[in-house]
């Protein structure tokens, strides 16, 4: 009896061009979000100003940074990457709602988190066979 899984659902994929492209595509939003975590944890003056402008208590920025860091960690571990992507999508959806609520510019602030989410999911699609199997071929 063979102990292998269905090859479509196998996560042990050879290091193909597609998986490397997925890692690179995933790296762009991950780098941006790690930068976001860092400035929230260091608590620079721009974070204080942005928190006030968005209507959040200043003390909440470090808590938000820790939550974002946990979601990123889940996204970066292959076994929990889909859960991380779902949680990051929720986080970024909240960012869209907050920016829309205060009337920030559409492309530079309000829709930007959607672009980040597209890059996260696009990278995950390329590097994870389970996601490709669930979504199907992109035409």
Mean local confidence (pLDDT), 37-55: 91
Mean of the pLDDT values across residues 101-117? 89
Q: Specify if 2 maps to a domain.
A: no
Residue at 79 is within a domain = yes
Please give the average per-residue pLDDT across 15-41, as a whole number: 92
Q: Decide if 45 is inside a domain.
A: yes
Provide the percentage of residues in the chain whose pLDDT is more than 90.
65
DSSP letters, 81-97, are HHHHHHHHHHHHHHHHH
pLDDT, position 14: 53
What is the rounded average pLDDT of the residues 49-58? 89
Q: What is the domain extent for residue 109?
A: 17-130
Is pLDDT of 19 > 50? yes
Domain count, the chain: 1
How many angstroms separate the CA atoms of 50 and 98, rounded?
Answer: 11
Region 21-26: mean pLDDT is: 94
Q: Which of 37, 136, 128, 18 is nearest to 81 (CA)?
A: 128
Question: Does some domain include residue 137?
Answer: no
pLDDT tens figures, 60-71: 999 999 999 999
Assess contact for 123 and 22: CB atoms under 8 A. Answer: yes
The verdict on residue 10 lying in a domain is: no
Percent of the chain surpassing pLDDT 70: 89
| 118 found inside a domain | yes
Whether residue 49 is contained in a domain is answered as: yes
Q: Does any domain span residue 138?
A: no
Q: What does the pLDDT read at residue 136?
A: 85
pTM of this prediction? 0.83
């Amino acid at each position: 009896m063979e102990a292998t899984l269905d090859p479509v659902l196998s996560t042990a994929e050879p290091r193909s061009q597609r998986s490397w492209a997925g890692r690179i595509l995933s790296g762009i939003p991950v780098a941006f979000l790690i930068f976001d975590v860092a400035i929230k944890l260091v608590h620079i003056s721009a974070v204080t100003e942005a928190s006030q402008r968005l209507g959040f208590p200043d003390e909440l920025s470090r808590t938000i940074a820790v939550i974002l860091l946990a979601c990123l960690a889940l996204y970066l571990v292959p076994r929990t990457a889909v859960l991380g992507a779902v949680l990051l999508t929720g986080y970024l959806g909240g960012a869209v709602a907050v920016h829309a609520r205060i009337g920030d510019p559409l492309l530079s602030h309000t829709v930007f988190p959607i672009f980040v989410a597209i890059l996260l999911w696009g990278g995950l699609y390329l590097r994870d066979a389970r996601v490709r199997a669930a979504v199907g071929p992109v035409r």
